[in-house]
Amino acid sequence: MSSAASSVPVDASASAPGLPGSPAPVAGEPGPAASALVRAIRGQRTDRLPVWFMRQAGRSLPEYRDLRVGTRMLDACLTPDLAAEITLQPVRRHGVDAGIFFSDIVVPLRLAGIAVEIEPGRGPVFADPVRTASDVAKIVAIDPDAVSVAAEPVREAVRIVTGELGATPLIGFAGAPFTLAAYLVEGGPSKEHLRARAMMHADPEAWHALAGWLARVSQGFLRAQTDAGASAVQLFDSWAGSLSVADYRAFVAPHSRAALAGVDAPRIHFGVGTAHLLADMRLDGTTDAVGVDWRTPLDEAVTVLGADVTVQGNIDPALLQAPWHVIETHVRDVIARGRAARAHILNLGHGVPPETDPDVLTRIVALAREADA
């Protein structure tokens, strides 16, 4: 990495109220619901531009790599004190305006008893792909409420985190039904998700049964987090960009809408490569904010989304490797374009790459603090 952030202070905890070592809020003082992040999701602009980063907890942090030695990913996600500490690490280091709960989108499937492992360098891999109607029947026979029952380690981790964060909000998250279905049907990561897309048309009844079950699983996972204290949620539809508008509307949007509809918290919806789906990503008003990836300028996204929805994003993750003057120019442009929306949450257009210098993220947070929200 270049010397882009050589003068960046690492300790940004003073800008993140409620961190360990800071006084916890007392009765009568503002809590997470009054934070800039939560207010922005709800459409209120404040004098503070809220900023957090997708995948801010994880491989870009040396303290994370040290902590994970000898522990498999899904085991780390389901060990409450470990998951809590990993969630808190970037909030301490960067001074971001929210924690994002450290987990993985396949965790609720593991909680449902489905055999899945995360292979380093590849991603989630399922022992038994779901390819036929009989495969779907076996999956949907599992009670989705079993996820909530088995999610006590998740609730405990959330309680630990929110107790430490104080007035800083925690964002809970889950994978969207299509992205989870794509993994299940393909058996692992895929570029075009051909089998999943084929199932929609070859056996729509099986598809809707599977996607409907996954919507209940995702909803239960989100509710486990909000019941334990998460102040907002984000639904990740990582692979939705592979879909046509017609397929998204017919086979995906109703299930994503169902996943979010039962969650009583401010809601963010995010997908990758979804410029052609932006209007539909609003899910008929079910979501309060829409994450926009780096491909679409925010002011252009607002013309599609409308003025009554918050936008989140959309710094290009690739530019985190550039010299600071390039990053700064880009971030300032993103902030300027975000002013077209009713409110803006500064974030990346996707997750933090593992090779990112953490000090660059800290410096972006400092830049956001200087910006006119």
Per-domain residue ranges for the chain?
Answer: 13-370
Q: Does residue 76 contact residue 110 with C-beta atoms inside 8 Å?
A: no
Q: How many CA atoms lie within 13 A of 137 on its CB side?
A: 4
pLDDT of residue 311: 98
Nearby residues of 157 by Cβ (< 8 Å), 6 or more positions away? 80, 81, 83, 84, 87, 101, 102
Catalytic residue among 64, 93, 104, 248: 104
Q: Does residue 200 contact residue 136 with C-beta atoms inside 8 Å?
A: no
Nearest to 105 by CA among 156, 147, 133: 147
Checking if the pLDDT of 15 tops 60, the result is no
Rounded Cα distance between 201 and 10, Å, is 52
104 is catalytic: yes
pLDDT of residue 373: 65
**Tens digits of residue pLDDT in 154-198:** 999 999 999 999 999 999 999 999 999 999 999 999 889 999 999
Rounded Cα distance between 290 and 41, Å, is 9
Rounded Cα distance between 160 and 307, Å, is 37
Checking if the pLDDT of 97 tops 70, the result is yes
**Tens digits of residue pLDDT in 28-64:** 557 999 999 999 999 999 999 999 999 999 999 999 9
CA 273, 277, 283 angle in degrees (round to 5)?
Answer: 125
Mean pLDDT over 215-241 rounds to 97
In degrees and rounded to multiples of 5, residue 15 shows phi and psi of -95, 5
pLDDT > 70 in the chain, percent: 92
Peptide bond into 347 cis (omega under 30): no
Beta pairing partners, 347: 314
Q: How many CA atoms lie within 13 A of 196 on its CB side?
A: 28
Mean pLDDT over 231-251 rounds to 97
Catalytic residue among 55, 93, 223, 342: 55
Checking if the pLDDT of 80 tops 90, the result is yes
Rounded Cα distance between 323 and 30, Å, is 38
CATH topology for 13-370 is TIM Barrel (3.20.20)
248 is catalytic: no
Mean pLDDT over 367-373 rounds to 87
Catalytic residue among 42, 45, 48, 68: 68
Catalytic residue among 42, 45, 48, 59: 59
Checking if the pLDDT of 22 tops 80, the result is no
Catalytic residue among 131, 183, 280, 293: 183
Q: Is the dihedral of CA 267, 93, 82, 167 positive or negative?
A: negative
Alpha helices in the chain (DSSP H): 36-41, 62-68, 73-77, 80-94, 107-111, 133-140, 145-150, 152-165, 177-186, 194-202, 204-227, 245-247, 253-261, 278-281, 298-305, 324-338, 358-370
Q: Does residue 237 contact residue 256 with C-beta atoms inside 8 Å?
A: yes
267 is catalytic: no
Which range, of 2-11, 101-110, 136-145, 341-350, averages the lowest pLDDT? Answer: 2-11
pLDDT of residue 29: 59
332 is catalytic: no
